[in-house]
Chains A and B, each alone.
Chain A
Amino acid sequence: MNVTFTRHGFARGAKLALSIVPGMLPFGVVVGVLADAKGLSFLEITLMSALVFAGSSQLVALELWADPAPILAASFAALVVNLRLAPMGAALAPWLDRLRGWKLWGTLTTLVDNSFAFAVADQRAGGRDAGLLLGVGATLWVFWVASVALGHSFAGLLALPPGHPVFFASLATMIALLVPIWRGKRDLLPWVTAGCVALIVHQAGLGQPWPVLAGALVGAATGAWRDRRR
């Protein structure tokens, strides 16, 4: 595959990212509000958003935050919640294999669920410009850091209870991204398997990341088994 890494690809990625920023902002604001409630300073939470850049793991770590800071527990929470990113990096190999140095390891620094989904959809539509992956990731990074900072600054004025409908936005983003990833009937068996296994593991009382990891691995293995039997 002839993979490129251009400014044009980066710009296309940035444009895609902007389309989902409205859905991401409430989540960032909530993380900022929670950080304020847990006693983190503006500098501390901004540094965390910039260096960690993974919303659900920041949320989980902040939920268990204490004084002094729970260094091991927070690191372990980040490891467990973000384990789902490991197979995403591996699945992007057709693009990443052609990159070296900062383009490879720097792009991976910005890998998140949504940049992965946009990249896979583009790859499957014949896209060959890996700059798109960094374009989505870097743009989302800017808005993530800004929205968390905003939440921290205006924590006293914003009252968004946990069940508020705006939080459906992050789930809606993932659901909508399933549409461009769908390749037709051959995806049905692995997808249904993935959904059922994830649901069973979830109902068994195991929290994240186990439903995602078990569902994704069993679903993908079922698809691979079916493909290789034909």
Chain B
Amino acid sequence: MSLRWDVLAAIIGMALATYLCRAGGYALLRAFRPPPFVEAMLAHMPGCIFVAFVIPTLIAGGSVHLAAGAATLAVMMATRNITAAIAGGVAVAWLLRGG
């Protein structure tokens, strides 16, 4: 089982870059108290991040992804059970692809 120095260096570089992202946003906020507008923005940030991630990916996936996404949302709203919602979405994607 090998561990090459160049691979290790790349992994450490990736790990440091990722931790900078994970901790950096909060560290900045802790160091400098933000103006009220930024505080108001942060309250809206969670939902907006997810919507901004989901919409382009969903639309790029075409009608199959749109239908599967709608099914996921419907099951989640009806049951509030995330495992069921994921299973419902994947099932619809599977059926529509004829897989």
Contact = CB atoms under 8 A, between A and B. Distances in A.
Interface of A: 19-20, 22-23, 40-44, 47-48, 51-54, 57-58, 61, 68-72, 74-79, 82-93, 96-97, 105, 108-109, 111, 113, 116-117, 120, 163-166, 168-169, 171-183, 187, 190-191, 193-199, 201-203, 211-217, 219-221, 223-225, 227-228
5 contacts: A42-B1, A69-B6, A75-B17, A79-B17, A224-B44
Contacts of A225: 37
Interface string B59-99: 11100010011001101110011110111111001100101
Interface residues of B, number: 76
Q: Is the interface of A mostly helix, strand, loop or mixed?
A: helix
Contacts of A171: 54, 57-58, 61, 65, 69, 89
B53 A84 contact: yes
Interface of B: 1-4, 6-30, 36-38, 40-61, 65, 68-69, 72-73, 75-77, 80-83, 85-90, 93-94, 97, 99
Contacts of A219: 44, 48, 51-52
Nearest to B70: A175
Given A111-B22, A198-B52, A71 B40 contact: no
A168 B89 contact: yes
A165 B87 CA distance: 11
Contact of B52 (A20, A85, A195): A195
Nearest to B91: A165
Contacts of A116: 46
Given A44-B3, A61-B10, A86-B25, 6 more contacts: A48-B14, A69-B9, A75-B14, A191-B48, A195-B51, A228-B36
Q: List 5 tightest A-B contacts by C-beta distance, closest first.
A: A215-B52, A86-B25, A75-B13, A172-B89, A89-B26
A215 to B, nearest CB: 3
